Chains A and B, each alone.
Chain A
């Protein structure tokens, strides 16, 4: 069976089970399911004068925005995974990236966009990379389990973020705890009216293409793959395994930092103190759906963002909490990684089918 069909089957099964859960908690499961499945699409209507009018562009924009963030966060998980490292640290790297981009944008003040934007972009990437580098060094120098250290570094990053946003960059006139609005020159303008879909929507696939090139065509990419495939052999063959591992962490962190730049300088344009953590874990789902294939990340991110935006539409339209998507997400993860599930399910289906055929 091809990989794509397997994943489609897993997602379909997860959606079906998710529907069952929805049916348990609401009287209107069909309406909820429809909102979930059609929520992110814009609707076209023929206006009185015969022109086509697009509605709900905001949600369509939210879909593309979400997919952009998810692609970048997915890279942050997928690159270390090429070196067989389970980094769960995209969250902290994203927070550090957003913080660095916003702090630099505010610090620069009134400068032309040609200076402010690239600098903020770089600052975000560097901050994320530094946070990833820390986890990488802890792993290679001290053999500290990377699942534990990245999770701990996430907590530290979120607290550093809250400390600085709340006590250093705080805007006292805002009425809630947040940074002042970022200067206009440092923020990205929308490509689609009334949404926050910015040039970052093009940066994400470009980043994916760059990483694909790096992994396939450069020495470093080869070393990362080799360090993941067989570290013992790689070390014997003279590959600097530790260096490749650390760089995989740092590189992943840089892209999570860019996701932070996307959040601060494109989506929100100011940083609230209670920015919700958890985007990093979503990156795991995206990386999983792509089955570790970097080139498939944008597709996986689009699919998964569709589900997330649909869930928000569902929560607004019905009484089903959006947490139902957590359940569906978990089921997708479980079904996708269960290699023996699909053959087992298909096999038993076939047996049932044959028994029905025999009795008939």
Chain B
């Protein structure tokens, strides 16, 4: 009985750890999407930002050994990480310039930048490695994993905190969690967070109140680029240790869906990102059974659509209940 419990717990912990790993890139990107959405700018370019960040990170970490042969080994992945964050943020900055300075439609420009990212990464990859598929021929680095010492032997907790191979979770998994808390707090409790939300809520009122709306929107888009870049860097230097063509594989759009699904609130967005992570883990597990792969691949998009419908239904019921309660309060003497 007791052994059974431990086995079940371990299996659950394995799934939870895998979910966390799969959800991390979506989590990063959806936090970014949330910030720019709250600033009144939907960021469709999350996908392209992730691609560019993953590419720049992987390539820089691989070439860093050539550029700085005397540098200590631990430095290369961090140089790659910095380059990835910089490149992804720069792409988001480009989106901001095109939208805020040049009057481009935000959604169309975002799609354009996604296509640009897709083309440029494959083009440069083919130029640098002679391969249009992946950078497998380059020796790139992964960011280190953090392993909790001394709990490897603890039954369930060990698997949960250090993964089923007892190597620990990538440092970016923890960064994602920290970023979640920080952003939830900053949006609610700082002046910057309030102003950002005011800009998105009603730009004209914010402008009339003397807020620098344009600068706040720049901040929102650049921050969203920085966060989504974190997800991209994790894809290339944590989740895998190479860059593949079209590596983001729709995660940027899933992140956008997570923002709407979470009702544009930090906690909801995080839950939605975790649900997407769990859906992809479930899909992978079902793939090992006799279920056709095609059916498995349908699960995440169908979950997204179903969730969007259910959330709306839920909101509608809640509004109706509140309206009924309000009427009752008005009518009572």
Contacts and interface: CB of A to CB of B under 8 A. Distances in A.
Given A160-B298, A321-B122, A330-B113, 4 more contacts: A25-B126, A147-B256, A323-B118, A337-B109
Contacts of B118: 323, 326
Given A148-B253, A148-B256, A339-B103, A166 B294 contact: yes
A300 to B, nearest CB: 15
Contact of A148 (B292, B297, B304): B304
A149 B107 contact: no
B119 A323 contact: yes
Nearest to A288: B108
Q: Tell me the interface secondary structure of chain A in the complex.
A: helix
Interface string B275-306: 00000000000000000101101101110110
Contacts of B105: 337
A321 B115 contact: no
Nearest to A135: B305
Interface residues of A, number: 44
A105 interface: no
Nearest to B127: A25
Nearest to B106: A337
A270 interface: no
B310 to A, nearest CB: 9
Given A337-B105, A339-B103, A156 B119 contact: no
Interface in B148-187: none
A117 interface: no
Interface in A130-150: 138, 142-145, 147-149
B122 to A, nearest CB: 4
State the 4 A-B residue pairs at the shortest beta-carbon distance, nearest first. A326-B119, A330-B116, A333-B112, A152-B301
Interface of B: 44, 98, 101-105, 107-109, 111-116, 118-120, 122-124, 126-127, 132, 250, 253, 256-257, 260, 292, 294-295, 297-298, 300-302, 304-305, 308-309, 312-313
Contacts, number: 139
10 contacts: A142-B308, A145-B257, A145-B308, A153-B305, A159-B294, A323-B118, A325-B119, A326-B115, A327-B123, A340-B103
B112 A156 contact: no
Given A138-B308, A281-B111, A325-B119, A334 B260 contact: no
Contacts of A192: none
A163 B295 CA distance: 8
Contact of B108 (A166, A337, A344): A337
Contacts of A331: 112, 116
B302 A330 contact: no
A264 interface: no
A308 interface: no
A53 B115 CA distance: 39
A76 to B, nearest CB: 15
A302 to B, nearest CB: 20
Contacts of B250: 151, 155
A151 B253 contact: yes
